[in-house]
Homo-oligomer: A and B are copies of this chain.
Amino acid sequence: MPRIELSSIEPKEIVAGYAAKFIHTPNMTFSYLHVKAGASLPEHSHPHEQVAHVLEGEFQLTVDGEPFRLEPGTIFVIPPDIKHSGLAITDCKLLDVFNPVREDYKKLSESK
């Protein structure tokens, strides 16, 4: 059965300072991120729904030009195709959930 230990997954650096461990199910991608304070994620968009969680630390998420400070207990639902970017205010742990699967991240997961 598909029991997965996060400790067994090799992290991939998707952007400088953003180390991601991925789980892909048939319909969703889960990205568990460790982010270094001050690391920024350039503005981008994708056709996937994204639900962003800050599990530890403080993170600034800018969505459609508007900045939001996120901490544990705040969830942000980013609709498809909406431009967003990020900045870690402190060291952070994040969880992003996507539907459908992020095929780009799936290829990255399978790369050496």
Docked Cα-Cα span, A27 to B50, in Å, equals 10
Question: What's the nearest-Cβ distance from chain B to residue A26, in Å?
Answer: 6
The residue from B1, B23, B55, B73 contacting A63, defined by CB atoms under 8 A apart? B1
In the assembly, how many copies of this chain are there? 2
Which of chain A's residues 55-76 have a Cβ closer than 8 Å to chain B? 55, 63-64, 66, 68, 70, 73-76
- Is A6 in contact with chain B by the CB < 8 A criterion? yes
Chain A binding surface, main DSSP class: strand
Interface residues on chain A, number (Cβ under 8 Å):
30
A110 to chain B: closest CB distance in Å?
17
Task: Kindly state whether residue A15 has any CB partner on chain B within 8 Å.
Answer: no
Residues of B within 8 A of A16 (CB): none
Whole-angstrom distance between the Cβ of A43 and the nearest chain B Cβ = 15
Contact B4 A25 (CB under 8 A): no
